[in-house]
Structure 1
Amino acid sequence: MFSTILRGIIFFISSLAILGAQQAYASKEDHPAVSRYEGATIKNTGVIHYQKISVPVNVMPGTEDTELIEVIGKITAHGYRLEGNKSTLEVGLNYKQVIEKLGAELLIDCVDKLCGYQPLDFYWQSWANYNSLIADDNDDETRFLVAKRATDKGDIYYQWIITNVYDGIIGIEQTIIEPEALLLDQVTVNSNITISAVQTPLRAEKEDIDGSQDHPVISRYQGAYISDYRQREFEKVFIPTGVAVNQVAPVITVEGKGTTIGYNLSNSQSTLQIYQNYLSALKAADFEILYTCNLAACGNALLDDLYSSEANQYRFNPVETNNDSDSDFRFISAKLTTSSNPIFLLVAIEGALTSNGINKIVVDIVEKSEMNTAKVTIDPEYLNDEITQKGRVVLHGLNFDFNQAKLLASSKASLTAITQYLAQHPQQRFYVVGHTDNVGSYEINTQLSKARAQTVIEELIKLKVDKSRLTPIGIGPVSPKIANSSDANKAENRRVELVLQ
């Protein structure tokens, strides 16, 4: 059987690493309720808090029907290796004695086919078995035990898989699920802060990457460290408000200062616990929750569908953007209305893929604002040089309302410089030529570009420029400076020029 052969190969390769790590695992402790089998050694162990797991409570021999219940709690998994020519029957009877001593109820005691077809499939897909190579569900003598013990704090479930994994070697996988309350207050939010345009200096911890820091609005999850960080003074950010349909996610588009922080966190905290902490903290700080989803309900590739440009290819590191439907993925988007401008925030959480892996968190924050458009200006000398050399000049610093022909107040300095140049060259006549990007129809863009050229002329007339010297032309998207392949390129193509007649 192919799967049996494959497991044998994997076991052989992994046994080399296991032998090298034996001393490290020797210091690991057994679960306080159940000791290891006499003579057994620990090969792998893991603990995760407040995790959801499917527990089998009944099997139907000869069928694929396994009755499962979902349990949330603290999961402690141990993988033991036992040498000494023991049988799965002998080891199994010893663990049945354990169940009796615990005062637990035996739910399942079966061997191989009597457990049903592929009886352990659910186990191989669970968190407890990630990175484990102790048990083998292809062994004909694999014994499976499940028990439940009722306590005043809830039911405790015990699982043992006992198998011949190699010549003379017994593998024992033990999983214990104990009831556990959700640990909250691991994230704090400060909604009463004044957002500064300049970052405050960071007192970085050694685990954080250089130049990174938490955002003042929201803390890191306790115990996390920053692995990825970037901040942009002004950008366009998409905030998902629902699951993607045909690779298109419903979004709110926000422009402003963007901060994206990627965190790594020990897998001792389940994604459910991380998610609940962020959600509780945001609600307590009066954030409006726009959208939340968990696991398969998030759909496929929720984050991957937001951005297609190479510039944003790694925006959500370390979280994988192509979240499969069976990924341990959770998501929150939220909005905080402040006295100045609103703040939008999204949190993406990806669970550890193995029991030795790490949880990954991304917090993406945008503080809505208007772009500073006064960074590029012109003066009469610049206009003279460009017109002398090229016969045309781009009029930087002329800023319009979005999709409108109205000039913003920030255009005043450039209008003054143009007026001064025209006064110095009274014999020159010009076409005032408006250009647009390629968003929208040709007809609308052509009308808009001419309307903007006309607005510039009207403002110059108010500054005592002879209107007979200026002719408005609108050519829309037909003469771009650069390919309309990005937002930055499109912004450069939206312009007004003076062209010497």
Structure 2
Amino acid sequence: MFRYAVLTLLLVTAPMCAVAKSPDHPLLSRFPEARATSYQQVSFERFALPTGLPPEEASMTFPELKLIGDMTRHTYRIRNTSTLKVYQNYKAAIERAGMNILFECSRDECGNQRQIQELGAKLAISNSVFTFWQDPYYILAEADEGKAHVAVFIGGDDGEAAVQQVIIEESQIRDDLIEIDLTYLDQPRELDTEIAVITPAQRARDHALLSRYPGARIRERTHSEYEHFVIPVSVVTASRNVDEFEKIELTGELTRHFYELNKVSTLKVYRNYTSALADAGFEILYECSREACGNSTEIRALGALIANTGNVYNYYRDPHYLVARRETVNGLAYIALFIGEYRGDTAVQQAVIETGPIEMGLVAVDSDLLHTELEESGKASIEGVQFDTGKSTIRAESKPALEAVAQLLNDYPELRFYVVGHTDDVGSPELNLRLSAARAESVVQALVKDHGIAPARLHSAGMGPYAPLASNTTEDGRSQNRRVELVSRLP
């Protein structure tokens, strides 16, 4: 087994005056008087270390050694010390330890200014060396036939040296950290006619079918007993509109989770999910990883369609995405997962959709209640009107609500209305304005064509997200804001 011998930078090491909060790596001590300004440790991570210089002066493309393992990065600052002195101590320590130097460069040998800055940025936690690129040195070495790699970039500015240090250690990944309980799928569900309120304790639970990754915490959980949901099964190309990407449209019980966890790579989380799904007999319908999921805009759009907040925020780096399906005694169970990273932390956007029958006849719209509400406030929301997601197509279950509005108009022939559509705040205001207007017009056309209402009595309009009833920061609030209202007009 590979055992680390600490590489001491000086033959006689002076006591350190500045003790940083971040620990040094066991393999490599810091230069005396160095202070750690940033530190990052990620388990089982992909990383590419430069092994040479770009072939052309104008190029920023470096030859690289691509590795997967446990990664530790430090940035150190050392006052009143030349970059040459720091470099010579690193190189001497590496040689004393018997490590194999794969590549090194000094000062002008490291390229022009832009190439030097890019070389250091590839190692830096902040993706930039800022002004610490002068008098540069770079060294890449391997220990014990590749079981560990050390890369160090040293640059100076105004008498101060900065060290960008990366250590990648060979490691084995565990892929047995997620469990699937198939007994859940063998239990027939009874339709519940009562609308249950999700308590805080319930919101803090995982889905019964799928456990979370150990150590993950729930940022958001939403649940709907019967919902229309669109699952992407292709790259969501930015030049297309929302209706043109390849997708699966489902209706059923929908549960979504937003998990966060620290210092675990997206690859490790993804491998555990795929292993658990394969063991449980799920069929993978679509998957993509990293660049195969598109550019940064397309990746964020893909994740946003799964996220219960409608946004993956900064968690779109190093992405993995999959859609899986399995038959159940009630129908089909679909699982969609989007996994992304930001600054060493990983987020999982998880959606579980269970298809099955819906119990009808639980909601009745009363035309008398509509009339009372209109007399009291001058407007009334048409409860029960449903549309396909992102469209103005009225769904079949909207029929009782439209019949109640038609009954109201027939009972009171003097009434005239503005039919006003509203949306939540997900997406651009321009698209939401058009969508709300189109939905209002669909209601008008349904009343005119299917119920014989005179067109002159109705006028459609769209308000988009500009007149919310509740906060758009929660799923319940967004659901309230997606509505169609009747607004009284003067004769």
Decide whether the 8 Å contact of 1:328 with 1:350 is kept in 2: yes
Q: 1:52 to 1:61 in 2, by over 3 A?
A: same
SS in 2 for 1:58: coil
Please tell me whether residue 376 in structure 1 is matched to residue 363 in structure 2: yes
Q: 1:377 to 1:51 in 2, by over 3 A?
A: same
Cα distance in 2, alignment partners of residues 477 and 405 from structure 1: 25
Which residue is 1:71 aligned to?
67
Q: Deviations over 1:411-442 (max 9, x none)?
A: 9xx9xxx9xxxxxxxxx9x9xxxxxx9999x9
SS in 2 for 1:351: strand
Cα distance in 2, alignment partners of residues 256 and 349 from structure 1: 23
Kindly state the Cα deviation for residue 322 of structure 1 after the two structures are TM-superposed: 9.5
Which residue is 2:235 aligned to?
243
Decide whether the 8 Å contact of 2:220 with 2:308 is kept in 1: no
Which residue is 2:154 aligned to?
162
Cα distance in 1, alignment partners of residues 457 and 326 from structure 2: 41
Which residue is 1:147 aligned to?
141
Answer with 1 or 2: which has the greater Rg.
1
Which residue is 1:81 aligned to?
77
Which residue is 1:190 aligned to?
181
The one-letter code of the counterpart of 2:230 is F
Kindly state the Cα deviation for residue 160 of structure 1 after the two structures are TM-superposed: 1.0
Q: Deviations over 1:236-290 (max 9, x none)?
A: 1111111124335211111122222111110x11111111111221222222212
Kindly state the Cα deviation for residue 340 of structure 1 after the two structures are TM-superposed: 0.8
Decide whether the 8 Å contact of 1:81 with 1:134 is kept in 2: no
SS in 1 for 2:63: strand
The one-letter code of the counterpart of 1:41 is R
Decide whether the 8 Å contact of 1:373 with 1:397 is kept in 2: no
Please tell me whether residue 177 in structure 1 is matched to residue 168 in structure 2: yes
Correspondent of 2:272 among 267, 273, 277:
277
Correspondent of 2:288 among 281, 290, 293:
293
The one-letter code of the counterpart of 1:171 is A
Cα distance in 2, alignment partners of residues 369 and 407 from structure 1: 16
Please tell me whether residue 339 in structure 1 is matched to residue 329 in structure 2: yes
Decide whether the 8 Å contact of 1:351 with 1:360 is kept in 2: yes
Kindly state the Cα deviation for residue 488 of structure 1 after the two structures are TM-superposed: 9.5
Cα distance in 2, alignment partners of residues 307 and 178 from structure 1: 31
Cα distance in 1, alignment partners of residues 211 and 448 from structure 2: 49
Cα distance in 1, alignment partners of residues 88 and 346 from structure 2: 38
Alignment of 1:107-146 (within 5 A): 107-117=102-112, 118-120=114-116, 123=119, 126=122, 128-131=123-126, 136=131, 138-139=133-134, 141-146=135-140
Kindly state the Cα deviation for residue 80 of structure 1 after the two structures are TM-superposed: 1.9
Kindly state the Cα deviation for residue 370 of structure 1 after the two structures are TM-superposed: 4.1
The one-letter code of the counterpart of 1:336 is R
Q: Which runs of 5+ in 1 are unaligned?
A: 1-21, 205-210, 387-394, 419-427, 431-436, 454-472, 494-501
Kindly state the Cα deviation for residue 109 of structure 1 after the two structures are TM-superposed: 2.0
Decide whether the 8 Å contact of 1:120 with 1:137 is kept in 2: no
SS in 1 for 2:273: helix
Q: 1:214 to 1:146 in 2, by over 3 A?
A: same
Please tell me whether residue 253 in structure 1 is matched to residue 249 in structure 2: yes
Cα distance in 2, alignment partners of residues 337 and 144 from structure 1: 55
The one-letter code of the counterpart of 1:76 is T
Decide whether the 8 Å contact of 2:45 with 2:69 is kept in 1: yes
Q: Deviations over 1:346-388 (max 9, x none)?
A: 11112013x5xx32221122222344431223789989999xx
Decide whether the 8 Å contact of 2:293 with 2:299 is kept in 1: no
Alignment of 1:209-248 (within 5 A): 211-245=203-237, 246-248=239-241
Please tell me whether residue 40 in structure 1 is matched to residue 34 in structure 2: yes
Cα distance in 2, alignment partners of residues 136 and 77 from structure 1: 19
Q: Deviations over 1:199-251 (max 9, x none)?
A: 897758xxxxxx43211111111111111122222221111111124335211
Please tell me whether residue 350 in structure 1 is matched to residue 340 in structure 2: yes
The one-letter code of the counterpart of 2:27 is A
Cα distance in 2, alignment partners of residues 293 and 227 from structure 1: 24
Correspondent of 1:263 among 253, 259, 262:
259
Cα distance in 2, alignment partners of residues 476 and 322 from structure 1: 49
Kindly state the Cα deviation for residue 72 of structure 1 after the two structures are TM-superposed: 0.9
Q: Which runs of 5+ in 2 are unaligned?
A: 1-17, 374-381, 387-392, 414-420, 422-436, 466-478, 486-491
SS in 1 for 2:148: strand
Across the aligned residues of Structure 1 and Structure 2, the Cα RMSD in angstroms comes to 5.0
> Percent identity between the aligned chains?
22
Cα distance in 2, alignment partners of residues 406 and 90 from structure 1: 77
Decide whether the 8 Å contact of 2:385 with 2:484 is kept in 1: no
SS in 2 for 1:328: strand
SS in 2 for 1:59: coil
Kindly state the Cα deviation for residue 73 of structure 1 after the two structures are TM-superposed: 0.9
Cα distance in 2, alignment partners of residues 285 and 368 from structure 1: 18
Alignment of 1:17-32 (within 5 A): 25-26=20-21, 28-32=22-26
Cα distance in 1, alignment partners of residues 342 and 303 from structure 2: 24
Decide whether the 8 Å contact of 2:303 with 2:338 is kept in 1: no
Decide whether the 8 Å contact of 2:120 with 2:133 is kept in 1: no
The one-letter code of the counterpart of 2:240 is Q
Q: How many residues matched?
A: 411
